[in-house]
Every structure is written in structure tokens, then in C-alpha cells.
């Protein structure tokens, strides 16, 4: 039996099903939960289970895009900055030393980018913040529960999750995220989402306050030196953005340039006083480890400075050049402990330029939108991009897993509101058209 206009009823039902708000919400929650829970999923259920979940989500995402194809425009579907970086990573299969591993690494990069693109198109910014808040509330609560179970009730480590049972001693703790730095970073991302929820009254006051306290406690217990830096950077950015938003429009450009100059001077002073700051934070050993690693990596970057060694993502211990770097360092690093250094190593200076362009465009676009829009929810995108960029100086989280997913989501959201391509076949005021169809 066919429906109206010759369209089969089953096909019409499928379109309505996959374009529904319920499916969009479930897809976004599952995607965020999978990305932030990757470490736990892989170490509890195995890598095959994790890959199966991601493949299933990609198939569901493709079905959602098919169902919403009438609402989407190809030129605005993927930001060119995201596409350029992913394509260059794929191109590295031509010169890599291990084509198979590079293809596997690229598939992981492309799959998460695809999931981020779909999620950003089917959820508006407030819905994204709410979904992220729900996911991180659950994961942080479970992390705290596991740490209490391991460190207080059982007083023994949980080896397969990397939990070291240090909570009774005040940390450091890892929760479900494998390392203290990962937990600290997730706690900061959660704080941004929880504060936006609180300011927009998206959840009850009790839930918002409890969520902020939970994230704050775990950030402190993580005992991660990067949390302090992230907190200061995000807090300063939030204050600056608030000041800009409350400035008259005719004075806003002057204020933006003035604040930009102040930030530049502040960064220069921070760099000049870096040794004193590191000593104050008690991060001397961590920073020394990083500097030694970066100096070693520099020797390998010189071999293939333009194109890099080929994209792998997280380091493979038995794969060149990572095994050689770890041999020199007498360590077992799983990344360069700096996203920018990692990109130079794997994709060369061309890759670094594309990565900086991706993050820079997302930050500028989202900042300009947040500075003129009335709702505080638009502050979420630039604050998350700033957190990702600052953390990239100390870790490589932005290149894989939840970090890469968040960067793509932010790039897509920023591009939907402010892009030269938004004027292609647009009616006035229709720049948020794809997101409007996701309203519940």
C-alpha cells in the first residue's frame, strides 16, 4: 500500500520516526554518553563492543540525516575547516609507514566527527547543553561512587578501570575516565554546562546546585594541575564575555580589541613567569616530563616536518615513531601530552595549520555570536572551545574521544549561526533553520 503522492506508507513512517524529537534526543544522549564513557566501555566490555556501538550510532545518524534531508543544505552541513582537517588526515595514508593502522585511526576520527555533525544539526544549543548536563551528571556521580567503593568501602584499587583508591587520602582520583587529568578536564566541561543550565533555569535549582558541587568536588579530588589553569582561563573568558555582552553595541568593537590586547599581554607575562607559576601549582615534575617529551618529539618532527608521520590518533606502542619516542623517554606515553605537538608529529605543519584554523574559526564565530545574542546559552560554545584549546597545551584529549566530538559540535554550531555560507539560498532570519526542527 502506498501513501499520498505514491510514497510507500512504510517509507513515510520511517521518515517521521527518524526525524522525531525523541530519536534526536536519544541519539544525542547516547552519542555523548559513548564518547565520554569510551575508557570505561572499552575496559569493561571490550573494544569490539565500543566499535559496535559507534558503528550503530553512525548508521542511526545516517538514517536521521536521510529523514531530515529536506531541512538540510549540503553547503552548510559540514564546516570547511572540519572537512579540511579530516581530509588531510585521510591523505596521510599515502605516506604513512602503516597504512592499515592509519586507516583505522582515520575511521575513528571520521566516525566521531560524523556523530558530532549529526548531533549539532538535530539539537539546538540549549538542548545540547541539557543533554551534556544529563550525561555528565550521571558519569560524574558514578565516578564518585566507584571511588568511594574502591577507596573507602573496599580499600583496594579497581585495576581494570584504573581506579587507584586514593579518595580517602584526598586524591588524586580518576573515576571512569582513566587518568586524573581526564577527570579534571571533564569536571571543568561539566561545570560550564551546569552553570549554563542554572542560569537558563533549565533544571531545578537544587539539581543545578548539586551538579555544580559534584563537579567542583571531583575537580578538586582529581588533583590535576591543569584544572587550575583551565578554571582560571574559562572563568576569565566568562567574565570578559559578560562584560562585552553588557556593553553598548557602538562601543563593543573598541572593547573587544582592548580586551584582546590585554589578553595578549597577559599571555606574554604568563609565559615570562611560567617557571614561578609552575612552582606555585606544584606541577614541576609534570611539566618537566612534558618538556622532555616535546624535545624528543622535535627530533622526529624534523624528519617529516611538512606532512608528518601519518595519522594514528592515540599512540600505538609498537608503531613508529611512537615506540622510538617512548624508548628514548623510557616511558609509555599514549600521546604527546599536547594536541598541537601531536598534530605536528602526525600531520606535519600543514595539519597544525588546519587544526589551528578549525579551533580558531570556531572560537571567533561562537564568541561573536555570544557577544550579541541575549541568551546566556550562547556562551556555552566559546567557553567550551576555550577549554579545549587551553587543555590542548597539556593533553591531547581534543584529538580523539569526547574532546574531538565536542570540538566538531562547537564548530558546527558556530558555523550555523555565523558563516559566509549561511546566505546561500537563505531567507532572512533562517540561519537556525535546521535546529528549529529539533525543538521539543
Q: For the segment 339-361, what is each residue's pLDDT rounded down to a tens digit? A: 999 999 999 999 999 999 999 99
pLDDT of residue 430 exceeding 60: no
pLDDT of residue 423: 45
- Which residues lie closer than 8 Å to 87 by C-beta, 6 or more apart? none
Q: How confident is the model at residue 31 (pLDDT cuts 50, 70, 90)?
A: very high
pLDDT of residue 424: 44
pLDDT of residue 29: 97
pLDDT of residue 112 exceeding 90: yes
pLDDT of residue 242: 85
Percentage above 70 pLDDT, the chain: 87
pLDDT of residue 6 exceeding 50: no
CA dihedral 251, 256, 262, 263 (to 10 degrees): 160
When pLDDT is averaged across residues 32-59 and rounded to a whole number, the result is 95
The CA-based angle 404-183-24, given to 5 degrees, is 45
Q: Of the given ranges (6-10, 219-223, 320-324, 394-398), which has the lowest mean pLDDT? A: 6-10
The x, y and z cell numbers of residue 177, run together, are 575516565
Q: Are 340 and 87 in contact (CB under 8 A)?
A: no
pLDDT of residue 22: 92
pLDDT of residue 272: 66
pLDDT of residue 270 exceeding 80: no
Q: Is 157 helix (H, G, I), strand (E, B) or coil?
A: coil
CA atoms within 13 A on the CB side of 176: 24
pLDDT of residue 5: 45
pLDDT of residue 427: 43
pLDDT of residue 174 exceeding 80: yes
- Which residues lie closer than 8 Å to 440 by C-beta, 6 or more apart? 21, 25, 127
pLDDT of residue 145 exceeding 50: yes
pLDDT of residue 181: 92
pLDDT of residue 378 exceeding 80: yes
When pLDDT is averaged across residues 143-165 and rounded to a whole number, the result is 90
pLDDT digits (tens, 9 = 90+) for 306-326: 999 999 999 987 888 988 998
pLDDT of residue 277: 60
Q: How confident is the model at residue 432 (pLDDT cuts 50, 70, 90)?
A: very low
Q: Are 51 and 38 in contact (CB under 8 A)?
A: no
When pLDDT is averaged across residues 350-375 and rounded to a whole number, the result is 91
When pLDDT is averaged across residues 357-371 and rounded to a whole number, the result is 91
Please tell me which residue, 374 or 392, carries the higher pLDDT value.
392
Amino acid at each position: 500500500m502506498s501513501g499520498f503522492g505514491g510514497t510507500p506508507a512504510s517509507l513515510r513512517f520511517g521518515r517521521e520516526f527518524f526525524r522525531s524529537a525523541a530519536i534526536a534526543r536519544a541519539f544525542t544522549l547516547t552519542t555523548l554518553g559513548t564518547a565520554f564513557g569510551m575508557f570505561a566501555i572499552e575496559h569493561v566490555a571490550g573494544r569490539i563492543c565500543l566499535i559496535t556501538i559507534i558503528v550503530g550510532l553512525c548508521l542511526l545518524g545516517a538514517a536521521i540525516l536521510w529523514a531530515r534531508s529536506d531541512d538540510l543544505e549540503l553547503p552548510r552541513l559540514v564546516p570547511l575547516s572540519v572537512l579540511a582537517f579530516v581530509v588531510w588526515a585521510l591523505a596521510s595514508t599515502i605516506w604513512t609507514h602503516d597504512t592499515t593502522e592509519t586507516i583505522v585511526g582515520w575511521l575513528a576520527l571520521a566516525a566521531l566527527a560524523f556523530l558530532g555533525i549529526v548531533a549539532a544539526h538535530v539539537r539546538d544549543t540549549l538542548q545540547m547543553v541539557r543533554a551534556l548536563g544529563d550525561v555528565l551528571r550521571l558519569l560524574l556521580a558514578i565516578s564518585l561512587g566507584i571511588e568511594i567503593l574502591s577507596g573507602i568501602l573496599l580499600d583496594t584499587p579497581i585495576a581494570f578501570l584504573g581506579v587507584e583508591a586514593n579518595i580517602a587520602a584526598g586524591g588524586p582520583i580518576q573515576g571512569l575516565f582513566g587518568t586524573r587529568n581526564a577527570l579534571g578536564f571533564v569536571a571543568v566541561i561539566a561545570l560550564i554546562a551546569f552553570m549554563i543550565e542554572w542560569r537558563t533555569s533549565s533544571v531545578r535549582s537544587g539539581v543545578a546546585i548539586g551538579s555544580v558541587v559534584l563537579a567542583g568536588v571531583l575537580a578538586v579530588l582529581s588533583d590535576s594541575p591543569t584544572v587550575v589553569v583551565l578554571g582560571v582561563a574559562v572563568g576569565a573568558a566568562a567574565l570578559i564575555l559578560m562584560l562585552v555582552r553588557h556593553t553598548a553595541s557602538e562601543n563593543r568593537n573598541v572593547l573587544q580589541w582592548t580586551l584582546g590586547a590585554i589578553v595578549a599581554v597577559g599571555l606574554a607575562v604568563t609565559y615570562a613567569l611560567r617557571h614561578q607559576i609552575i612552582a606555585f601549582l606544584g606541577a614541576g615534575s609534570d611539566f618537566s616530563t612534558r618538556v622532555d617529551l616535546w624535545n624528543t618529539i622535535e627530533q622526529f618532527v624534523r624528519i617529516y616536518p611538512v606532512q608528518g608521520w601519518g595519522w594514528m590518533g592515540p599512540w600505538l606502542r609498537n608503531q613508529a615513531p611512537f615506540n622510538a619516542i617512548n624508548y628514548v623517554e623510557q616511558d609509555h606515553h599514549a600521546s604527546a601530552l599536547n594536541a598541537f605537538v601531536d598534530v605536528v608529529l602526525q600531520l606535519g605543519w600543514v595539519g597544525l595549520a588546519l587544526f589551528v584554523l578549525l579551533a580558531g574559526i570556531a572560537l571567533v564565530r561562537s564568541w561573536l555570536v555570544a557577544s550579541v545574542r541575549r541568551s546566556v546559552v550562547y556562551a556555552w560554545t566559546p567557553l567550551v572551545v576555550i577549554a579545549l584549546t587551553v587543555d590542548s597545551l597539556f593533553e591531547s584529549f581534543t584529538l580523539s574521544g569526547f574532546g574531538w566530538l565536542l570540538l566538531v559540535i562547537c564548530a558546527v554550531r558556530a558555523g550555523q549561526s555565523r558563516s559566509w555560507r549561511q546566505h546561500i539560498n537563505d531567507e532572512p532570519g533562517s540561519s537556525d533553520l535546521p535546529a528549529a526542527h529539533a525543538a521539543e
